[in-house]
């Protein structure tokens, strides 16, 4: 059990990480260290070393990442590969040297091959190259899986790696230059609604499918795995249900109250054709089943965004 443990959550002030911190607090964990980049730059190995020396954790959740939507990935492939690889590789090595008892690492669905059979099963991770627009990020994360398994084999390190599907929820990034699809659609629909615009332009043709996981459910999965899972195998974290981007846009418009139409810009990339996970392993290995439906999660996310908009923060 995690109560009484001293825990570091890298990325703990970010979107997913802040929800993991809250899930740990609900478990009764009182000693949680959330490093900030200004104090511990994890891209610099010395930052990793100082963090562990100062915090002396029993457990580390490595959730910090340089992330973004298709546009951000396409504009920063080198940066996304370098920073994600360096943060992870160096932190894992320093955790080994510091004798950290357990390390929980966040992977990404972007690591899967572009044409992986649907639903994606963990055994398919190496059967092809990731979709081109986010391949550097995905490959950087796959490297960490290899490292975690190699360190378990050679050093007996208890490092596990979970691969969450696309996340959404309160405190997500709503910056249109770097956000993922759900917050971007919500913000565009809100702006169009408030301005009385007749149309909203969206990327691609709306045909790809995606699976979405409410962030609180993801946080619960990571904490459950920290408590109950100790094997080398990667584990998918998701709902097991996919939806087309076109149908997602319709649901978001209804949740926001936008009455106009969508115009699809097919000159922009669609990204991976389909994304949907096989979530059997998470259920069987440590009992995780997502509880929040997409409709309910969208309502909660829109409500949070409306509050932020009313305060002038969005």
CATH number of residue 224's parent domain: 3.40.50.720
Mark whether 214 is an active-site residue: no
In the three-class reduction of DSSP (H, G, I as helix; E, B as strand; rest coil), residue 88 is classed as helix
Catalytically annotated residue among 40, 82, 129, 137: 137
283 — phi, psi (to 5°)? -65, -45
pLDDT block averages, 10 residues each, the chain of length 314: 95 97 97 96 97 98 86 85 97 98 96 94 96 92 98 98 97 88 96 96 94 98 98 98 97 97 92 92 98 98 96 90
Q: Is 206 exposed, middle or buried (0-12, 13-18, 19+ CB in 10 A)?
A: middle
Is residue 257 in some structural domain?
A: no
Is residue 89 in some structural domain?
A: yes
Q: What is the pLDDT of residue 305?
A: 97
Q: What is the pLDDT of residue 72?
A: 75
Is residue 71 in some structural domain?
A: yes
Is residue 162 in some structural domain?
A: yes
Is residue 198 in some structural domain?
A: no
Tell whether pTM > 0.85.
yes
Q: How many CB atoms lie within 10 A of CB 259?
A: 12
First to last CA, the chain: 39
Q: What is the pLDDT of residue 142?
A: 97
Q: Tokens for 60, please give them.
A: 């580390």
Q: Concatenated DSSP letters for 170-229?
A: TT----TTT--HHHHHHHHHHHHHHHT-SEEEEES-S--EE-EEEHHHHHHHHHHHHHH-
75 — phi, psi (to 5°)? -85, -20
Pairing of strands 102-106, 212-214: unpaired
Is residue 282 in some structural domain?
A: yes
Q: What is the pLDDT of residue 273?
A: 87
Containing structural domain, residue 12: 6-169+213-240+276-291
Is residue 86 in some structural domain?
A: yes
Is residue 226 in some structural domain?
A: yes
How far apart CA 175 and CA 155 sit, in angstroms, is: 42
Report the number of distinct structural domains present in the chain.
Answer: 1
Q: What is the pLDDT of residue 76?
A: 86
Q: What is the pLDDT of residue 177?
A: 82
Q: What is the pLDDT of residue 277?
A: 97
Cα–Cα distances (Å) from 283 to 237, 287, 290, in that order, read: 9, 4, 9
Q: What is the pLDDT of residue 22?
A: 98
């Amino acid at each position: 059990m995690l109560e009484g443990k001293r825990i570091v959550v890298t990325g703990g002030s970010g979107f997913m990480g802040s929800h993991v911190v809250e899930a740990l607090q609900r478990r009764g964990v009182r000693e949680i260290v959330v490093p900030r980049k200004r104090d511990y730059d994890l891209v610099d190995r010395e930052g990793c070393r100082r963090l562990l020396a100062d915090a002396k954790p029993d457990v580390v959740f490595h959730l910090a990442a340089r992330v973004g939507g298709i546009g951000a990935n396409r504009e920063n492939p080198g940066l996304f590969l370098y920073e994600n690889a360096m943060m992870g590789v160096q932190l894992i090595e320093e955790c080994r040297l510091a004798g950290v008892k357990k390390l929980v690492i966040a992977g990404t669905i972007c690591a899967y091959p572009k044409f992986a059979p649907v639903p994606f099963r963990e055994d398919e991770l190496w059967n092809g190259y990731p979709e081109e627009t986010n391949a550097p990020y995905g490959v950087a994360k796959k490297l960490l899986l290899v490292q975690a398994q190699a360190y378990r084999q050679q050093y007996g390190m208890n490092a596990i790696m979970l691969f969450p599907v696309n996340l959404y929820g309160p405190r997500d990034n709503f910056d249109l230059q770097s956000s993922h699809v759900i917050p971007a659609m919500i913000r565009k629909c809100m702006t169009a609604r408030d301005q009385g615009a007749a149309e909203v332009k969206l990327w691609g043709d709306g045909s790809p499918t995606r699976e979405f996981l409410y962030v609180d459910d993801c946080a619960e999965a990571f904490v459950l795995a920290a408590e109950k899972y100790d094997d080398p195998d990667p584990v998918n974290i998701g709902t097991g249900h996919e939806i087309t981007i076109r149908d997602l846009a319709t649901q978001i418009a209804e949740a926001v109250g936008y009455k106009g139409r969508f115009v699809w810009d097919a000159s922009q990339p669609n990204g991976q054709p389909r994304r949907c996970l096989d979530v059997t392993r998470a259920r069987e290995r440590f009992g995780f089943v997502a509880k929040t439906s997409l409709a309910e999660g969208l309502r909660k996310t829109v409500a949070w965004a409306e509050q932020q908009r009313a305060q002038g923060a969005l």
